[in-house]
Amino acid sequence: MEAKIQAFIDSVKVRNGNEPEFIQAVTEVAETVIPFIENNPKYNNAMLLERMVEPERMIMFRVPWLDDKGDVQVNRGFRIEMNSAIGPYKGGLRFHPSVNLGILKFLAFEQVFKNSLTTLPMGGGKGGSDFNPKGKSDNEVMRFCQSFMSELFRHIGPNTDVPAGDIGVGGREIGFMFGQYKRLRNEFTGVLTGKGAAWGGSLIRPEATGYGNVYFAEQMLKTKGESFDGKTVVISGSGNVAQYACEKATELGAKVLTLSDSSGYIYDPAGIDAEKLAFVMELKNVKRGRIKAYADHFGCEFHEGARPWSVACDIALPCATQNE
């Protein structure tokens, strides 16, 4: 069995040798799935995993846009349409300088399994760009999003591929992209999830991922006769997922000690209560500021360039990025 698993992983490495994140994801799945396939003869010789590790379609395109100085900038756009066996491709769009083909294939591959576990008829996909929204004006982000969608629109649709948000893509970016899609297709269709509630979005959508993280942890704690009440919690990130994970953990009686962004993390031993979380939401969602401003405002510690995992706690909730 070990030899079969290794042989499969080696074959994947030959074809995707410069994509360590993708190889990692495939390895984790192969170690579980290959023994299952071997124990169920009806799946033998069907090349199931070999088919699943190859995206049905990979789209890569140029995204030119004008900055506020009138200079042309060029980024690279991607959409990995990984698998549509049970429904339209579904998965987020990420805008971050680290975005490349390997990371998006890793995320799209995992998205296939995540979506299938919901029992909803959704396939898996992922996309984005190496564009960095940090430090950009609203007009620059709008021009980028419109240029990005001017190519992506021909590859997506409500019955084909339904993108969502991810790192760097929140309600503002989804709004700009949906407006451009609507203009180009001359139709108002549910092709992007994560839209504002006032123009077709879903209630509880902003809270869903962060709440889900805490609900899952809560159920795991219940198997041990434990709960969040009275526990200390360390959270990474300070975006949508981290904000609502903090909110729900606090509602359940926990004390949240940290939040972070790419510049470092804050440590507040008094806990991040509802009033402090409202400050974070204003800072991140409206002002687009850095988490250090929290430390300056509330007089707590800021650890530059570090992650919060060295802080002693009862529960750790990763809410920033993959492989934390």
User: Catalytic residues, which ones?
Assistant: 126
Nearest to 168 by CA among 197, 192, 136: 136
Q: What are phi and psi of 19, to 5 degrees?
A: -130, 75
Q: Read out DSSP for 266-277?
A: EE-TT---HHHH
- Please answer whether residues 72 and 42 qualify as being in contact, where contact means their C-beta atoms are separated by less than 8 angstroms: no
- Tell me how far apart the alpha carbons of residues 236 and 291 are, in angstroms, rounded to a whole number: 11
Burial status of residue 46 (CB atoms within 10 A of its CB: 0-12, 13-18, 19 or more): exposed
- Tell me how far apart the alpha carbons of residues 170 and 136 are, in angstroms, rounded to a whole number: 14
What strand order describes the sheet that includes 57-66? 57-66, 72-83, 124-129, 89-95, 161-164
Helix (H) or strand (E) holding 64: strand 57-66
